[in-house]
């Protein structure tokens, strides 16, 4: 089932994940206990959350070769409101020029080993790591100021760089751009929930983490990024349902369908026979 994955701590919409593994509330400045990174970014919400009446409206951002942004106002009530030409196709095309990898899964594995700070110019590179200006601006030193900006001043841009560093920096650049487009549209249309789907996110933990952090950071905890368990099949499933003109099932109809299946139970001698015909002796 496509179960949305909660992007941040469920009970605190203003909590962020810090470098040392602690949870910090950006409003109260309270540092909480350490939480393993893999647990923090894989919390799930029930599927019903997206279908409840109070869940609408929400943004749906589908990331494939390009990006489509849809506003969803109810079951089968949606409108494409924006998009971007910078998506998965952009990342994979540039990776083919910059690296030797031959498939998308391999380049994601390459990116996991990369260090983007060797490529990106950080805020700390401009103002200094412990500058008073950072405190006045309210910016941490490790925020990206310019993607690939550190290569501008180098005599030999490729010196000291590995393919994995380029793959990681490029992945973050594309992901940050998608997150910015999603956030601005959510702000424009006054939606707090943003669902991200599409084949670009399949096995792509780095982008899911970055999108979750970015939406939380830009909105100051007022918006939430959510992900689907089988995000790569989302578009294909929707196309199948629409092409076959499958009727939208209401909550009442779903309960009636489940009730029809209830008279059947598993028996050791026979497979799934009606309860009325089930033998009481073995």
Rg of the chain over Cα atoms, rounded to whole angstroms, equals 23
For residue 111, what are the β-bridge partners? Answer: none
For 40, the 3-state DSSP assignment is helix
Exposed, middle or buried: residue 198 (CB in 10 Å: 0-12, 13-18, 19+)? buried
Lowest mean pLDDT among 125-134, 199-208, 222-231: 125-134
The pLDDT tens digits for 84-111 are: 999 999 999 999 999 999 999 999 999 9
Task: Report how far residue 61's alpha carbon sits from residue 55's, in angstroms, rounded to the nearest whole number.
Answer: 16
Task: Report how far residue 221's alpha carbon sits from residue 252's, in angstroms, rounded to the nearest whole number.
Answer: 35
pLDDT of residue 280: 44
pTM, to two decimals: 0.72
Q: Any residues with CB less than 8 A from the CB of 181 and at least 6 apart, and which?
A: 61, 67, 69, 82, 83, 84
């Amino acid at each position: 089932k496509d179960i949305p994955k909660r992007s941040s701590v469920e009970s605190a919409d203003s909590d962020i994940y810090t470098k040392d593994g602690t949870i910090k509330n950006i409003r109260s400045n309270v540092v909480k206990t350490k939480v393993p990174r893999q647990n923090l970014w894989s919390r799930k919400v029930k599927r019903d959350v997206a279908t409840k009446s109070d869940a609408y409206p929400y943004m749906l951002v589908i990331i494939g070769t390009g990006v489509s942004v849809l506003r969803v106002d109810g079951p089968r009530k949606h409108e494409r409101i924006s998009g971007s030409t910078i998506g998965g196709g952009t990342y994979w095309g540039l990776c083919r020029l910059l690296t030797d990898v031959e498939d998308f899964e391999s380049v994601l594995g390459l990116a996991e080993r990369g260090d983007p700070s060797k490529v990106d110019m950080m805020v700390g590179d401009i103002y200094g790591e412990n500058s008073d200006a950072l405190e006045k601006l309210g910016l941490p030193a490790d925020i990206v100021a310019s993607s690939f900006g550190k290569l501008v001043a180098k005599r030999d841009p490729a010196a000291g760089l590995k393919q994995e560093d380029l793959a990681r920096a490029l992945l973050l650049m594309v992901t940050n751009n998608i997150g910015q487009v999603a956030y601005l549209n959510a702000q424009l249309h006054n939606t707090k929930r943003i669902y991200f789907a599409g084949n670009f996110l399949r096995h792509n933990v780095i982008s899911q983490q970055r999108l979750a952090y970015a939406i939380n950071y830009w909105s100051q905890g007022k918006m939430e990024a959510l992900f689907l368990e089988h995000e790569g099949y989302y578009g294909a499933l929707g196309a199948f349902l629409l092409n076959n003109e499958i009727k939208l099932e209401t909550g009442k109809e779903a309960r009636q369908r489940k009730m029809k299946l209830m008279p059947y139970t598993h028996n050791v001698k026979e497979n799934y026979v009606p309860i009325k015909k089930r033998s009481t002796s073995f």
